[in-house]
Amino acid sequence: MKVTIKEIAKRSGVSRSTVSRVISNHPNVDEETRQKVKKVMEELNYRPSRLAQGLVKGKINVVGLIIGDIRNPFYSELTRAIEDILNAEGYMVVLCDSDYNPQKEELYLRTAEELGFAGVIMTSAMETKELLQTLQSLSCPVVLLNRYLRAFETDVVSFDNYNGGYIAAEHLIKLGHRRIAILAGPNNSTSSKDRLRGYSDALRDYGLEYKEEEVTYGDLRWATGYEFGLHLLRRQERPTAVFAGNDLMALGIIQAYLDNGLKVPDDLSVVGFDDIPAAYMGAVKLTTVRQPQYEMGVEAAKLMLERIKGIPHAPKRIIFDAKLVIRESTKPII
Amino acid sequence: MKVTIKEIAKRSGVSRSTVSRVISNHPNVDEETRQKVKKVMEELNYRPSRLAQGLVKGKINVVGLIIGDIRNPFYSELTRAIEDILNAEGYMVVLCDSDYNPQKEELYLRTAEELGFAGVIMTSAMETKELLQTLQSLSCPVVLLNRYLRAFETDVVSFDNYNGGYIAAEHLIKLGHRRIAILAGPNNSTSSKDRLRGYSDALRDYGLEYKEEEVTYGDLRWATGYEFGLHLLRRQERPTAVFAGNDLMALGIIQAYLDNGLKVPDDLSVVGFDDIPAAYMGAVKLTTVRQPQYEMGVEAAKLMLERIKGIPHAPKRIIFDAKLVIRESTKPII
DNA sequence: TTGAAAGCGCTAACAG
DNA sequence: CTGTTAGCGCTTTCAA
């Protein structure tokens, strides 16, 4: 049924090797022969099997992308960027939602190996022994996006999460806030931890006390922010500000307040993290730490491409700076 | 370097066939032998090459997913559902953002063929001659999600877009609105066209006039809705209501009004389409036509699985009913 | 510039 | 229950 290289060879009166050469645009083919073969391929609507190519080459033009959850706009943007760059170079991207679950990541890495992926970009950020081990045994390049692994040296595109946390806290402090609640990201995520560390260092630098019991760890989803907002409303002593581990949760907190007749930033100042599109699409434009998602995705994809085709080189690290975008969700305390 | 079936065979003192049998869990293997082989595989951390498996089987455990734009929450949800189901059955999903561009879709379909995908799920919805042709020549099953192609019979999961448009219009009409603006989806999308048709039929049924020049076609993005909202604000005679082709655009329109000091639904009633999470996450909870995104994705994935493994059967069609979710973005005209 | 031959890692009859 | 054999569709030396 399927037309193969053999068929093309027969019909154009040359050997399979020659056909293979025209497939891969090898220079050592007589122009006339090349045209003849191409014509036959056209007529028969021939498509070389990448599976077969992959088998002999040991690699396939596919790169895996591991992210936390595609429903988080932050990852959607990243994914889109990576896809744009990689597709343009003839690579496909295979998606994997890890749900921030190291086991899923590991399983996926294994599959990448089995399928002979050209590379894997990891955006999800957990750190376990098993994962590290799998990573070590991987035969394709890996680039880390917004995460780092002490025990695994590789190309990294990252963001200055520490400073991001710092300037977020600083902003709130300078606005006069003292009672600040924190809804951080998962505490097994390196980036979330860095943000929190920056945050607490800022408190210390400004002579404020950082209480471990003041921080709540969330799963980065909007609903979790909403729940947290509701929780704050039930408290006797409400904080005057809150620092959220990402925009989605920040937006959830704000909505909980609005839905209960309170005002933001009047009753609560909120600063988020990421600057997803939704941050400026709502009623209260969010003050947040901007991460250039698309650009970060682009850089990661480029690094991957370099690593796949290029000559070996020492691991590269690209770090994006944190920038606070001040909008309407924060205001000075009276 | 890489450990292959040959190595395993040698080390465990059996033939490659036997190893192959334990890989695929074939019953005809002595339990003792099986354990012995498994142990060796374990020790050597052996991973069978799916590329090789795919080559001989002619198919690979991967299904392609073509969507409009992953940044649209509607597609994110769908994608997640499909991934969840397919991954659980050992299939990977490869993502393709078509940008609603038929050429991209076609190119992608070609790649699916070259890679020997087990199947392709198409959610993006353009209809061209070339695409149809490529579809016909495809050697793997295709399931269509929220689109149909007159000239291509296959499994379909769809939504009653026509009725969705109808009840949206009906709702507005019954609320007393007469001057209703329309920001429809792309007019080469079957689902968008159906919604519009339902809409216009409702007008007719209620004795209202449908003016072709009243409809604007948008690209389903938030920013486009926002622009449209601004545009409405500049008009002398403003409509009292607007029907948007999807929630993202509806939300954009609302925001344009809010940002300019107007109120929704007081100054404008808005009904959307999709019921994405953001529909109820904002200041004005959106009245919209609910499409059960996750469930639709699940059904599509199941259909795909059936088609891949199952015995051949006539094309199935699953149609989800339209349901209006009335929230706060619409109100009666005074 | 071209072809013959070997092989990538695995599966699938067919014998035994 | 197990091994032998023959490919799957393509690339890649090596000769010619």
- Condensed to tens digits (0 to 9), the pLDDT of residues A280-310 reads 999 899 999 999 999 999 999 999 999 998 7
Check if residue B151 sits with its Cβ under 7 angstroms from strand D: no
- pLDDT surpassing 90 at residue A189: no
Task: Determine what percent of chain B is predicted with pLDDT higher than 90.
Answer: 73
Number of domains in chain A: 2
Q: What is the mean pLDDT of residues B298-315?
A: 91
CA of B1 to C1' of D16 (A): 34
Q: Which domain holds residue B149?
A: 62-159+293-321
Q: Decide: helix, strand or coil at residue A297.
A: helix
Quote the minimal CA–CA distance from A279 to chain B in Å. 11
Query: Using CA atoms, how far apart are residues B304 and B318, in angstroms rounded to an integer?
Result: 13
Could you tell me if residue B48 is inside a domain? no
Say whether B79 and A62 touch across the interface (CB within 8 A): no
Least confident of A125-129, A194-198, A233-237, B147-151: A125-129
Pairwise CB contact (< 8 Å): B55 & A62:
no
CB pairs under 8 A between A and B: 126
Q: Is the CB of B52 under 7 A from strand D?
A: yes
Instruction: Protein contacts on strand C: list nucleotides below 7 Å from a Cβ.
Output: 1-13
Q: How confident is the model at residue A42 (pLDDT cuts 50, 70, 90)?
A: very high
- Looking at the structure, tell me whether residues B215 and B273 fall in a common domain: yes
Task: Considering any atom of strand C, list protein residues whose CB lies within 7 Å.
Answer: A 13-18, 21, 27-30, 32-34, 52, 55-56, 58; B 2, 4-6, 16-17, 19-20, 23-24, 47-49, 52-53, 55-57
Distance, in angstroms, between A199 CA and closest chain B CA? 27
Which residues, at least 6 apart from A194, have a Cβ–Cβ distance to it below 8 Å?
Answer: A161, A162, A164, A165
Statement: the CB of A5 is under 7 Å from strand D:
yes
Residue A55 lies in a domain: no
Closest nucleotide to A15, Cα to C1': C3
pLDDT of residue B329 exceeding 80, the answer is: yes
pLDDT in the model for residue B130: 87
Q: Which of B1, B76, B251 sits opposite A70 (nearest CB)?
A: B76
pLDDT at B207: 93
Query: Which whole number is the average pLDDT over B28-36?
Result: 91
Same domain for B220 and B283? yes
Is the CB of A50 less than 8 angstroms away from the CB of B114? yes
- Mark whether B178 and B279 lie in a shared domain: yes
Rounded CA separation A113/A107 (Å) = 10
The reply to whether A101 and A154 lie within a common domain is: yes
Q: pLDDT (tens digit, 9 = 90+) per residue, A50-85?
A: 999 999 988 899 999 999 899 999 999 999 999 999
On whether residue A126 sits in a domain, the answer given is yes
User: Nearest 5 degrees, angle CA A141-CA A145-CA A149?
Assistant: 75
Residue A15 lies in a domain: no
Residues A315, A230: Cα–Cα separation, whole Å: 45
Closest chain B C-alpha to A105 CA, distance in angstroms: 12
B9 pLDDT band, cuts 50/70/90, is very high
Query: Could you report the per-residue pLDDT of B266-295, keeping only the tens digit for each?
Result: 999 999 999 999 999 998 999 999 999 999
* Beta-carbon contacts of residue B135 (< 8 Å; ≥ 6 apart): B109, B142, B149, B152
Residues A176, A270: one domain?
A: yes
Among all protein residues, pick the one whose CA is nearest to the C1' atom of D5.
Answer: B17
Most confident of A21-35, B19-33, B254-268: B254-268
Q: Specify whether B101 is located in the same domain as B191.
A: no
CA distance B51 to B14: 23
- Residue B314 is predicted with a pLDDT of 93
Task: Check whether A125 has a pLDDT greater than 70.
Answer: no
CATH value at residue B129: 3.40.50.2300
Supply the pLDDT for residue B1: 66
A244: which 2 tokens?
């959220």
The whole-model pTM stands at 0.90
pLDDT class of B125 with cuts at 50, 70, 90: low
Put simply, the answer to whether A281 touches B71 (Cβ < 8 Å) is no
Gap from B217 CA to chain A (nearest CA, Å):
21
pLDDT digits (tens, 9 = 90+) for B216-247: 999 999 999 999 999 999 999 999 999 999 99
The verdict on residue A85 lying in a domain is: yes
Of all nucleotides, the one whose C1′ comes closest to residue B18's CA is D2
- A252–B77 CB contact, under 8 Å: no
Q: Check B71 against A73: CB less than 8 A apart.
A: yes
Q: Per-residue pLDDT averaged across A38-49, rounded? A: 92
One domain, residues A300 and A316:
yes
Measure, in angstroms, how far nucleotide D12 C1' is from residue B11 CA: 29
Compare CB distances from A278 to B48, B111, B278 and report the shortest one's residue.
B278
Query: How far apart are the C-alpha atoms of A254 and A251, rounded to whole Å?
Result: 5
Contact residues for B278 (Cβ-Cβ < 8 A; gap 6+): A278, B73, B247, B248, B251
Between A270 and B210, whose confidence is greater? A270
Is there a domain that residue A82 lies in? yes
Strand D closer than 7 A to residue A87 Cβ: no
Nearest to A47 among B77, B94, B114 (CB): B114
Residue B28 has pLDDT above 90, yes or no: no
Do B316 and B249 have their domain in common?
Answer: no
pLDDT in tens, B162-210: 999 999 999 999 999 999 999 999 888 888 999 999 999 999 999 998 8
Same domain, A94 and A191: no
Residues B213 and B96 in one domain: no
Binned at pLDDT 50, 70 and 90, residue B309 comes out as: confident
pLDDT in tens, A154-187: 999 999 999 999 999 999 999 999 999 999 998 8
Distance CA B257, CA B228 (A): 10
Distances in whole angstroms, Cα of residue A292 to Cα of each of A81, A160, B204: 11, 12, 48
- Which range scores top for mean pLDDT: A27-41, A46-60, B240-254? B240-254
Indicate yes or no: strand D within 7 A of the C-beta of A48. yes
* Calpha distance A156→B35 (Å, rounded): 41
The Å distance, CA of A56 to C1' of D12, is: 9
Is A108 part of any domain?
yes
User: Does residue A311 register a pLDDT over 80?
Assistant: no
User: Percent of chain A scored above 70 by pLDDT?
Assistant: 99
Q: Verify whether the Cβ–Cβ distance B115 to A51 is below 8 Å.
A: yes
- Residues A209, A167, single domain; the answer is yes
Using the predicted structure, report yes or no on whether residue B118 has a pLDDT greater than 80: yes
Q: What is the pLDDT of residue B193?
A: 92
Pair (B71, B134) in one structural domain: yes
pLDDT at A322 over 90: yes
Which chain B residues have a beta carbon less than 8 Å from that of A58? 2
Binary contact (A222, B277; C-beta < 8 A): yes
For residue A4, being part of any structural domain is answered with: no
Determine contact, residues B175/B162, Cβ cutoff 8 Å. Answer: no
Strand pairing category for A287-290 and A323-325: antiparallel
Q: What is the DSSP letter of B316?
A: P
Check whether residue A30 has its CB closer than 7 Å to nucleic acid strand D.
Answer: no
Q: Give CA–CA dist B287/A61, Å, rounded.
A: 44
Tell me whether residues B282 and A284 touch, CB distance under 8 A: no
Q: Chain B partners of A62 at a C-beta cutoff of 8 Å? A: 94, 115
Q: Does the distance separating the beta carbons of B76 and A83 come in below 8 Å? A: no
Mean pLDDT of B326-331: 97
CA of B38 to C1' of D11 (A): 32
pLDDT of residue A272: 98
Q: Mean pLDDT for chain B?
A: 92
